[in-house]
């Protein structure tokens, strides 16, 4: 009977220890880190989707607006730069690398904005079904990018908070010492300036 009680108390103690470890935040840091990495993959996927739409958009516009060569060239060059800058998950703790990625994506957004503005001068282009479909896909992709960035920022905020708050900060200092806070997207300098309105 004594051995039976000893085994039951050992099993209960092990179960209690297991529950206390699982409930104390040990798994929180790696779980939230993986969530942030997955959200970053969504960001990259949506930026890649945008980059994949651009050659068709440029070709369509080129057929109607050959004299807009400077605008078309700027889009193609901005796309080339944007696809060259890669940030893998191991670089998410480097704010400079993320800023570099963000800067080339912002340049591409600006070039695309100028391209779409040029289309206003060409009624035939604006009514072209292929152009309208590409423009709609591009707008949808821009919305997806905004959502993916927001989700990434939120996941990084949760992860970075885990590294600094109790009880997960204990695990961060003891077991996950190599984990560093991840960098977030920041608003561009132009987003901080008030818009200029001219009449």
Per-residue pLDDT of the chain (199 residues), as tens digits, is 577 777 777 777 666 665 555 556 789 999 999 999 999 999 999 999 999 999 999 999 988 887 888 999 999 999 999 999 999 999 999 999 999 999 999 999 999 999 999 888 898 888 899 999 999 999 999 999 999 999 999 999 999 999 999 889 998 999 999 999 999 887 665 554 444 434 3
pTM: 0.81
DSSP class of residue 183? P
Alpha-carbon distance 83 to 14, whole Å? 52
Does some domain include residue 91?
yes
Does some domain include residue 72?
yes
Does some domain include residue 176?
no
Does some domain include residue 55?
yes
Number of domains comprising the chain: 1
In the chain, DSSP finds a helix count (H) and a strand count (E) of 8, 0
Does some domain include residue 90?
yes
- pLDDT tens for residues 21-77? 555 678 999 999 999 999 999 999 999 999 999 999 999 998 888 788 899 999 999
How is 9-67 classified by DSSP, letter by letter? HHHHHHHHHHHHHHTTTTTHHHHHHHHHHHHHHHHHHHHHHHHHHHHHHHHHHHHH-GG
What is the span of the domain harbouring residue 55? 47-142
Alpha-carbon distance 18 to 27, whole Å? 12
Q: What are phi and psi of 126, to 5 degrees?
A: -60, -25
Does some domain include residue 137?
yes
Does some domain include residue 8?
no
Q: Which residue has the tokens 């607006």?
A: 65
* Two structure tokens written together for 126: 């604006």
* Two structure tokens written together for 166: 């109790």
Angle at 64 between CA 59 and CA 66, to 5 degrees: 80
CATH number for the domain including 90? 1.20.1440.20
Does some domain include residue 89?
yes
């Amino acid at each position: 009977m004594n051995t039976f009680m000893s085994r039951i108390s050992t099993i209960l103690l092990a179960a209690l220890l297991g529950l206390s470890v699982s409930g104390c935040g040990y798994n929180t840091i790696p779980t939230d880190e993986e969530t942030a990495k997955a959200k970053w993959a969504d960001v990259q996927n949506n930026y890649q989707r945008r980059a994949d739409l651009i050659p068709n958009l440029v070709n369509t516009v080129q057929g109607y607006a050959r004299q807009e060569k400077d605008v078309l060239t700027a889009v193609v060059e901005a796309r080339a730069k944007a696809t060259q800058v890669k940030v893998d998950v191991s670089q998410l703790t480097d704010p400079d690398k993320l800023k570099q990625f963000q800067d080339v994506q912002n340049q591409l957004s600006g070039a695309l904005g100028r391209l779409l503005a040029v289309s206003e001068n060409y009624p035939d282009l604006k009514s072209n079904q292929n152009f309208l479909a590409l423009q709609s896909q591009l707008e949808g992709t821009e919305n997806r990018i905004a959502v993916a960035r927001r989700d990434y920022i939120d996941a990084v905020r949760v992860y970075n908070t885990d590294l600094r708050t109790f009880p997960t900060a204990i695990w961060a200092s003891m077991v996950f010492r190599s984990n560093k806070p991840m960098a977030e997207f920041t608003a561009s300098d132009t987003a901080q300036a008030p818009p200029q309105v001219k009449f």
